[in-house]
Amino acid sequence: MKKQILLIIVMSIVCSGCTNLGVQPWERDLLAKDEMSLSSSPLDSALDDHIYFSKEASSGGKGFGGGGCGCN
């Protein structure tokens, strides 16, 4: 019985967590900033990807890690 109650509590916390995620359109003041963009400096990323692609065994993850140069 105790376990069930606990489970219900946990479930409702998880669920309320889900429904509480996200913002209303007018709350996007911070998210709308350029620096909050997930790829805020695309050129930096492109250059970094090229460096690490040619120096390490991993690539991609954030975007496509495909071919593109003979550096590896």
Q: Is 7 in the site for other proteins (CB under 8 A)?
A: no
Chain position carrying tokens 């963009």:
37
What residues between 25 and 54 interact with other proteins by CB under 8 A? 25-33, 35-38, 40-44, 46-47, 50-52
- Measured CA to CA, the distance from residue 67 to residue 71 in angstroms comes to 9
Taking only Cα atoms into account, the Rg of the chain, rounded to an integer number of angstroms, comes to 21
Tokens of 12: 């409702």
> How many chain residues touch other proteins (CB under 8 A)?
46
Q: Is 2 in the site for other proteins (CB under 8 A)?
A: no
Residues that bind other proteins (CB under 8 A): 20-33, 35-38, 40-44, 46-47, 50-52, 55-72
